[in-house]
Amino acid sequence: MHRFLKTLFHTCLLALAAHSHHALAWGSDGHKIVAMLAEAQLSPAARKEVDRLLAQEPGATLASISTWADEHRSPATAA
Q: Evaluate the CA torsion angle 60, 61, 63, 68 in order and state its sign.
A: positive
Give 42-61 pLDDT, tens digit per residue: 999 999 999 999 999 999 99
Give 56-66 pLDDT, tens digit per residue: 999 999 999 98
CA distances from 26 to 31, 58, 71, 78 (A): 6, 26, 13, 11
pTM of the model: 0.58
Q: Evaluate the CA torsion angle 36, 38, 49, 75 in order and state its sign.
A: negative
Displacement of CA 29 from its chain's centroid (Å) = 10
Give 15-41 pLDDT, tens digit per residue: 777 666 555 567 788 889 999 999 999
Displacement of CA 24 from its chain's centroid (Å) = 8
